[in-house]
Amino acid sequence: MTVNVDSTVIVQPEYLMETKRIVEAILFAAKQPMTCKQIQQTFPELEQPGLQDVQQAIAAITEDYQSRPIELKQVASGYRFQVRSELSRWVSRLFEEKPPKYSRALLETLAIIAYRQPVTRGDIEDIRGVGVSSSIVQTLLEREWIKVIGHKEVPGKPALLGTTKQFLDYFNITTLNELPTLQRLDLSLDGTPTSAGKE
Amino acid sequence: MTVNVDSTVIVQPEYLMETKRIVEAILFAAKQPMTCKQIQQTFPELEQPGLQDVQQAIAAITEDYQSRPIELKQVASGYRFQVRSELSRWVSRLFEEKPPKYSRALLETLAIIAYRQPVTRGDIEDIRGVGVSSSIVQTLLEREWIKVIGHKEVPGKPALLGTTKQFLDYFNITTLNELPTLQRLDLSLDGTPTSAGKE
Amino acid sequence: MENAPEQPPAFAMVNGIPFNQLPEDLYIPPDALEVFLALFEGPLDLLLYLIKRQNLDIVNIPVAEITQQYINYIQLMGLLNIELAAEYLVMAALLAEIKSRMLLPRRPDAEDEEDDPRATLIRRLQEYEGIRNAADEMDQLPRMERELFATEVDISALAIEQILPDIELKELLLAFQDVLKRVDQLSHHQITKEALSVRERMATILAKLEGENSLLFPQLFIRKEGRHGVVVSFLAILELSKERLIDIIQPEPFAQIRVRAASPAQAEAEND
């Protein structure tokens, strides 16, 4: 604890350690994004702050890091500290492995699941007009970007696929609404083109 | 750097600020401690700051985090950010998990060491008929249930493993003689629904 | 393009050269063309490409023309031995069907879009185009490991009590029994109290020798254990010697017998 050096140093009893300080430590120590609730419950049982206190602490911390090269960011499954994207040019050099590049087939499959969920593999094949390789679905499942969210009540009970919070986290967004708008042309055949529709 | 407090405030040239910002980002993103040299070499070749600049940046960052719940700390292999130890009490609940269960392989390895000591890893592999992962041996060593009690005089000088006093204490026995024998097991397990028992 | 005006638009640009015909001329390295053609993600993708290349609107596809181009393409793919998914052929058949139906006079009462044979195809093309664009845009989003990096803050300074798994003595024995069951040459009666105490004594003696240059033979016995203890220690020493874990030395006749650990470098004892 640093001190306002005005003669009287108030030694804080341990249990009075500021909520904000603890919230910050929890966010830094956690290996995945943390919701307010999760942060609250990390405190020892009898010392848990109110959710509003946690929220306030988060706002204050976000403010504190405004000028630093890292930021406290809200994604789908909570808050996490991350390096600001404008520094990626330097930071990416830390890692010998190039970030994974995903094939068009994988990205299209992922986009269909994201925008049209819940969908079956058959639905994906209908939209893309071509078979879906199981290795693509496997990769997406393993990355935990998609999951089976049910089964369709048709013969064969095919799995219905949807996206996960981890998918949103990975792409740095909080909800599916933040995905790029799906542009769709109208279906009129009378020659009037392109009144763009939104999903 | 903030140290020489002789009234003259030196305005830092901007490129120095930038360096500091990048160094901070690198330290936050790195998965292991970073030396000054490693930090320097993370910069693109034509933009690498001097080692002294890196050193200065580190000093400034250390200063900046003085009042925060994390600190930039120098350890044997370089610098890294770490959560301050005084926050253990609050943060530790993040990492408390249900105790895991030891694998079959670990139990068998421990049993062989207990009943057949002193044995080498090779001996254990011979008896089990499969390789012994070093992480299992490591776990048992860390748990202080086994120790290296010598080395076998054969090529490679493999370590000879035996059980420890802590091992006896854990099982609440005073000597290895008190380890149950198979005969006794057969008696005591008579009628109990375990996988073992009669052939 | 500076080609003859009558020529149809290029099928493909390879190294900047427009490519108009099946590869009879050897200008075009077939490999490059193969790579180019293999880029298509399916029949819809290829169709979209053909339409976009001519700046045509999806809703006004000149079916006859596009069908011809499409068929040219899949012939080309066949010629180059690009593995052609069945979907391409299905699409060719569909196009041909639409084309033939477009040639027939429309019934006057069939104003419905439903009856336009192109409707389904157009809807699918539009849907696919939307997804294709969305996939492109999604690929541009900043994402972890590429533009964004998690912060890695060490927690080793924290005192975190790790809860370790518990095991019971019985489990240990069961594990050992399982091992023995798997190994034919070992049988139950070898695991006797006697053998175990010799084994334990072997470990004790090795531990005693650790850090010592050598010990006198009698130092390895504990008098107060009595006859039984002496026998156990003696058996342990013989066993250790047999397994070449210790050396028994007598420098000259009738000199005191000494025992030392077989490993000369005692210091190594801790690291394996």
Of the two residues C233 and A4, the one the predictor is more confident about is C233
Query: According to the model, what pLDDT value does residue B177 have?
Result: 85
- Amino acid C9: pLDDT: 54
- Distance CA(C67)–CA(A196), nearest Å, equals 27
Q: What is the pLDDT of residue C106?
A: 66
Contact status of A65 with chain C (Cβ, < 8 Å): no
**Quick one: average pLDDT of A136-161?**
94
* Average pLDDT for C160-165: 72
Name the closest residue on chain B to residue A19, using Cα atoms. B90
CA separation for the pair C73, C82 (Å, rounded): 11
Residue C49 and residue C40 in contact, taking contact as beta carbons nearer than 8 Å: yes
Q: Which chains does A contact via 3+ CB–CB distances below 8 A?
A: B, C
Q: Pick from C85, C123, C133: which is nearest to A130 by CB?
A: C85
pLDDT of residue C268 exceeding 60? no
Chain mean pLDDT for chain C: 76
Instruction: Provide the greatest CA pair distance for chain B.
Output: 88
Predicted confidence band at B92 (pLDDT cuts at 50, 70, 90)? confident
Chain B hits for C242, Cβ within 8 Å: none
Question: CB distance C179–B127 less than 8 Å?
Answer: yes
Tell me how far apart the alpha carbons of residues C156 and B82 are, in angstroms, rounded to a whole number: 7
The reply to whether residue C262 touches residue B175, judged by beta carbons under 8 angstroms, is: no
Nearest Cα residue to A113 out of C86, C82, B39, C131: C131
Q: How many CB pairs under 8 A join B and C?
A: 192
Count of A-B CB contacts under 8 Å:
81
**Which is higher by pLDDT, C263 or C153?**
C153
Question: What is the C-alpha to C-alpha distance for residues C68 and C46, in angstroms, rounded to an integer?
Answer: 13
Give the least confident one: A13-27, A150-164, B142-156, C178-192.
Answer: C178-192
**pLDDT at position C25, please?**
43
Chains that touch C (3 or more CB pairs under 8 A): A, B
State the Cα–Cα distance between residues C216 and C121, nearest whole angstrom: 96
Tokens of C89: 């052929």
Candidates B77, B42, B72, B47; CA nearest to B60 is B72
- pLDDT for C30: 59
**Strand (E) positions, chain A?**
70-75, 78-83, 146-151, 159-163
pLDDT of residue B68: 94
> Residue C11: its pLDDT value, please?
57
Residues of C in contact with A105 (CB under 8 A): 41
Contact (CB, 8 A) for A149 and A116: no
Task: Give me the pLDDT at residue B76, please.
Answer: 87
**Contact criterion met (CB < 8 Å) for B29 and C150:** yes
pLDDT, tens only, A36-81: 999 999 998 888 999 999 999 999 999 999 999 999 999 999 999 9
In the structure, what pLDDT confidence band is assigned to residue C102 with cuts at 50, 70 and 90?
Answer: confident
Task: Please list every residue in chain B whose beta carbon sits closer than 8 Å to the beta carbon of residue C272.
Answer: 148, 151, 158-159
The better pLDDT of the pair C79, B114 is held by B114
Per-residue pLDDT of C71-87, as tens digits, reads 888 888 887 777 777 88
Q: Read off the pLDDT band of C256 (50, 70, 90).
A: confident
**pLDDT for position C204:** 86
- Subunit contact B101:C179, Cβ cutoff 8 A: no
Select from 1.10.10.10, 3.40.630.10, 1.10.287.610, 3.40.50.11540 the CATH code of A2-94. Answer: 1.10.10.10
Q: Which residue has the higher pLDDT, A105 or C83?
A: A105
CA dihedral A162, A79, A26, A60 (to 10 degrees): -170
- Helices C226-242 and C193-209: crossing angle in degrees, nearest 10, is 70
A33 to chain B, minimum CA–CA distance in Å? 12
Q: How far is CA C59 from CA B183, C13, C143, in A?
A: 85, 26, 35
Residue B65 contacts A, CB cutoff 8 Å: no
- CATH fit for domain B104-185, picks 1.10.1660.10, 1.10.10.10, 3.40.47.10, 1.20.1260.10: 1.10.10.10
Calculate what percentage of chain B has a pLDDT beyond 70: 81
Going by C-beta distance under 8 Å and a sequence separation of 6 or more, which residues neighbour residue C220?
A: C205, C208, C233, C237, C259
User: The tokens 């052939």 sit on which residue?
Assistant: B199
Share of chain C above pLDDT 90, in %: 10
Please give the backbone phi and psi of residue C163, each rounded to the nearest 5 degrees, phi first: -80, 120
End-to-end Cα spacing for chain B: 75
CB contact under 8 A, C152 and B148: no
Q: Is the ipTM of this complex over 0.90?
A: no
- Report the residue from A28, A80, A191 with minimal CB separation from C59: A191
The model's confidence at residue B3, banded by pLDDT at 50, 70 and 90, is: very low
Using the Cβ of A44 and the Cβ atoms of chain C, whether some distance falls under 8 Å is answered with: no
- What the block records as the tokens of C63 is 């079916």
Q: How confident is the model at residue B78 (pLDDT cuts 50, 70, 90)?
A: very high
| A13 contacts chain C (CB < 8 A) | no
Which pLDDT value is given to residue C271? 43
- CB contacts < 8 A, A to C, total 138
CB contact under 8 A, B22 and A68: no
Contact state of A26 with B70 under an 8 Å Cβ cutoff: no
pLDDT for position C176: 84
> What value does the mean pLDDT take over residues B86-98?
82
Give the closest-approach CA distance of C89 to chain B in angstroms.
Answer: 50
The per-residue pLDDT of chain B, averaged, comes to 82
Question: Å from C98 to nearest chain B CA?
Answer: 57
- Contacting residues of A for B67, CB less than 8 Å apart: 1-2
Q: What does the alpha-carbon distance between residue B150 and residue B161 come to, in Å, rounded to a whole number? A: 7
Confidence band for C101, pLDDT divided at 50, 70 and 90: confident
Asked whether residue B186 carries a pLDDT value surpassing 50, the answer given is no
Structure tokens at C87: 């979907």
Distance between first and last Cα of chain C: 73
Q: What integer pLDDT is reported at residue C61 of this predicted model?
A: 81
* Distance between CA atoms of residues A100 and B100, nearest Å: 32
Chain A nearest-CA residue for C86 = A130
Q: Is B5 near chain A, with CB under 8 Å?
A: no
Q: Would you tell me which residues 165-184 of chain B have a C-beta closer than 8 angstroms to some C-beta of chain C?
A: 171, 173, 175-177, 179-183
A77 vs chain C: nearest CA distance in angstroms? 14
- State the Cα–Cα distance between residues C196 and C190, nearest whole angstrom: 9
* Closest chain B C-alpha to C257 CA, distance in angstroms: 20
Average pLDDT, chain A: 85
Instruction: Choose between A139 and C167: higher pLDDT.
Output: A139
Rounded to an integer, the average pLDDT of C2-31 is 52
CB-CB under 8 Å, B24 with A70: yes
The pLDDT, as a whole number, for residue C247 is 85
Does residue B46 surpass a pLDDT of 70? yes
Round to whole Å and give the CA distance between C42 and C84. Answer: 9
Confidence class for position A193, pLDDT limits 50, 70, 90: very low
- pLDDT, average across residues A24-43: 95
Whether residue A182 and residue C45 make contact (CB cut-off 8 A), yes or no, is no
Question: Which chain C positions have a beta carbon within 8 Å of B100's beta carbon?
Answer: 165
Mean pLDDT of C191-209: 74
Q: Is C67 exposed, middle or buried (0-12, 13-18, 19+ CB in 10 A)?
A: buried
- Residue from C158, C181, C190, C260 to probe the interface with B (highest B Cβ count within 10 Å): C158
Where do you find CATH 1.10.10.10 in chain B? 2-94, 104-185
H helices of chain C, in order, are 30-38, 43-53, 63-79, 86-103, 119-140, 169-182, 193-209, 226-242
